[in-house]
A and B are shown apart, each in its own frame.
Chain A
Amino acid sequence: MLEFRNVSYSAGDADILNNVSFTVDERFVAVTGPNGSGKSTVAKLISGIYTPTSGQILFDGIDITNMSITDRAKSGISFAFQQPVRFKGLTVKDLISLAASKDGKKISAAEACQYLSEVGLCAREYIGREIDASLSGGELKRIEIAMTMARDGKLTVFDEPEAGIDLWSFNNLISVFKKMYEKTHGSIIIISHQERILEIADKIILIADGEIADVGSGDEILPKLLKNGYAFGSCSRLSNGRRREEK
């Protein structure tokens, strides 16, 4: 589905990614690593917001290294921002409709509402709201996820979906991802620090200092990560409690 071949990326004098290669064919892949390791850069390289300094990116066997953001979106790559963007005047319905419109198809208000309900927002209350400063960060984040659900891409990339979400919403978020995992026709890549997100991944890619530090199945990688402190539990009391239950 997706392949990075010796991809490097630098911004000014700073080398952000250095000779990174990996493949994504699994349904659910998590990219993790410490802050500043280059994780979000990977997401932006996949969606076309950044272009590699060197190396190749292949999507379904096609070289997309120099393809525009728009063409990548049209070919099935969908991207949920870490910090959702606000728009004066555009409503939740406008954006969900834009996200869902492919090949000239339009979605109905009822379908748009369905996506909002799935991320735990009362559709009737939110569908007509403007995506402006009146929405909180958590609300925007959920709308961003509803948009990617509406987009239904072959490859969906989430950049730290947990950032800016409270614990209560976080639990719902996990169930949203579990549901997406069941439903998806393609692959999902999540950039995340969260143990509970890493737990549901088929494959974990660990990035440190701009390089791939480790790749493997969740069972292989997660215990190592927890030992080294790369991944964070959602809250120590919660994860301790859960571990006790598991015992």
Chain B
Amino acid sequence: MPLDAIQRELLNKIADLHEVPQGAYSLRINGQLHGKNSSENITIEKKTDKPGIDIYIKAGTKNESVHIPVLLSQTGITELVYNDFHIGEDADVTIVAGCGIHNGGSEKSEHSGIHSFFLEKNSKVKYVEKHYGSGDGSGENVMNPTTYVELAEGATMEMETAQIKGVDSTDRTTKAVLGDNATLIVHEKLMTHGKQYAKTTFEVELNGENSGTHVVSRAVARDNSHQVFLSNIHGNNRCSGHTECDAIIMDDASISAIPEISAKHIDASLIHEAAIGKIAGEQLIKLMTLGLTEKEAEEQIIGGFLK
């Protein structure tokens, strides 16, 4: 069954795709698996005990990608999906996930994805996740993603998550456990407007020797929206950890940033930084002297900040 215009638009927003992707993919639409495709090195299997899929990436797979977008274009769907990723030794892959909701009705649409990543020795994953909501109905768009990451010795995971528009309520949790020489890098971008609410929680256990993490969040809260950022990095071995939350507050929004670091080892080196502030007046003035209106200047500053 071909995609309709709304579904194509959602797919474009969350995965930069115009049609059903090539190569390994799984596409879930309105609570059903719409289609999936395995490739030589990447196997996608539908779970039999609960909704969701298992993705197996063979050891040594290099420079391949998997797309697993989820689209909701009917109002009133609530789903909970379990996706497990098993990444073989020395593999180096890109995984593009994301959820797009178009809610044109009056009922709540909700997608909660529980993604678990098991990275074997020296494997590498770049994980990109975008969330987007649209629709002129009165029904809420809700997304509650949970990400669980287990990094074996020498494994690296780089996560890029973005939620820029249209999600009324989100509660995002990321938990990671790192082995020796493992690295986790997270870049989160978040913008809320209207009466939206977003809570994001990071919990990282640096258990391995020379493990390291950077958790960086950049957020903009506009209108009457509310954001909560929580991060907790545990240094349980010789390790390095850094968490940073940098937020721009606008209008009547509210933001709480609560970074926490805990060390249980003499050679754990942990840093947290958090900053909340409005757009600096001199930044607006500078761009206005280049011929931009105040509104255009604001858009440029936010666009750069969330780039």
Write the residues of chain A forming the contact surface with B, with a CB cutoff of 8 angstroms.
47, 49, 68-70, 73-74, 77-79, 81, 84-85, 87-91, 94-95, 98-99, 101-102, 147, 151
Chain A contact surface mostly: mixed
Contact flags (1/0) for B245-259 with A, using CB distance below 8 Å?
Answer: 010000000000000
> In the complex, are the beta carbons of B305 and A73 less than 8 A apart?
no
B290: which of A49, A73, A88, A89 is its contact (CB, 8 Å)?
A73
Question: Could you tell me if A90 and B301 are in contact, using CB atoms closer than 8 angstroms?
Answer: yes
Measured between C-beta atoms, what is the minimum distance from B276 to chain A in Å? 13
A81 pairs with B291, CB closer than 8 A? no
Q: Would A89 and B291 be within 8 Å (CB), given that A69-B285, A81-B286 are in contact?
A: no
Interface centre among A69, A74, A81 (most CB of B within 10 A): A69
Instruction: Determine how close the nearest CB of chain B comes to the CB of A16; give it in whole angstroms.
Output: 18
Total number of B residues with any Cβ neighbor in A under 8 Å = 22
In the complex, what residue of chain A is closest to B289 when comparing beta carbons? A79
Whether B291 lies near A73 (C-beta < 8 A) is yes
Tell me the chain B residues, 274-307 only, with Cβ under 8 Å from chain A: 280, 282-283, 285-294, 300-301, 303-307
Chain B min CB distance to A149 (Å): 13
Residues on A with C-beta less than 8 A from B304 are: 87-91, 94
B293 — nearest CB in chain A belongs to which residue? Answer: A70
Closest 5 CB pairs of A and B: A89-B304, A90-B304, A73-B291, A69-B288, A85-B286
Nearest chain B CB to A234 CB, angstrom units: 28
> Which residues on A sit within 8 Å (CB–CB) of B305?
88-89
Which single member of A74, A89, A94 contacts B306 (CB below 8 Å)?
A89
Tell me if A102 and B291 are in contact (CB < 8 A): yes
Whether A98 contacts B280 in the complex (CB less than 8 A), given A81-B286, A88-B246, A88-B304, comes out as no
Residues of A contacting B287 in the complex (Cβ-Cβ under 8 angstroms): 98
Beyond A94-B304, A98-B300, whether A87 also contacts B283 by CB under 8 A is yes
**Chain B positions within 8 Å of A81 at CB level:** 282, 286
How many whole Å from B256's CB to the nearest CB in chain A?
A: 21
Contact B301 A74 (CB under 8 A): no
Inter-chain contacts of A68 with B (CB < 8 A): 288
Name A130's closest neighbour in chain B (CB-CB).
B304
Are B307 and A147 in contact, CB atoms less than 8 angstroms apart? no
Pairs across A and B, CB under 8 Å, 21 listed:
A49-B285, A68-B288, A69-B285, A69-B288, A70-B293, A70-B294, A77-B289, A81-B286, A85-B283, A85-B285, A87-B304, A88-B246, A89-B304, A89-B307, A90-B300, A91-B304, A94-B304, A95-B290, A98-B292, A99-B290, A102-B291
Contacts A77-B289, A89-B307, A101-B291 supplied; 6 other A-B pairs, CB < 8 Å: A49-B289, A70-B288, A70-B291, A87-B283, A98-B287, A98-B290
Docked Cα-Cα span, A70 to B290, in Å, equals: 7
- Of the residues B283, B289, B300, B307, contact of A69 by C-beta under 8 Å: B289
Given the known A-B contacts A90-B304, A94-B304, are A78 and B246 also in contact in the complex, defined by CB atoms under 8 Å? no
* Distance of A236 Cα from B306 Cα, bound (Å): 48
Contact B291 A74 (CB under 8 A): yes
- For chain B residues 210-238, which have a beta carbon within 8 Å of chain A? 218
Closest to A79 in B: B289
> With a CB–CB cut-off of 8 A, which chain A residues contact B291?
70, 73-74, 101-102
CB distance from A231 to the nearest CB of B (A): 27
Name A73's contact: one of B282, B288, B303 (CB within 8 Å): B288
Distance between Cα atoms of A70 and B295 in the complex (Å): 11
- Measured between beta carbons, the chain B residues less than 8 angstroms from A77 are 289
A93 to chain B, nearest CB (A): 11
* From A78, A90, A101, residue with most partner B Cβ within 10 Å: A90
- State the CA gap A197–B286 with chains docked (Å): 24
For residue B286, which residues in chain A have a CB less than 8 angstroms away from its CB?
A: 81, 84-85
Contacts of B285 in A (CB 8 A): 49, 69, 85
A47 surroundings in chain B (CB, below 8 A): 289
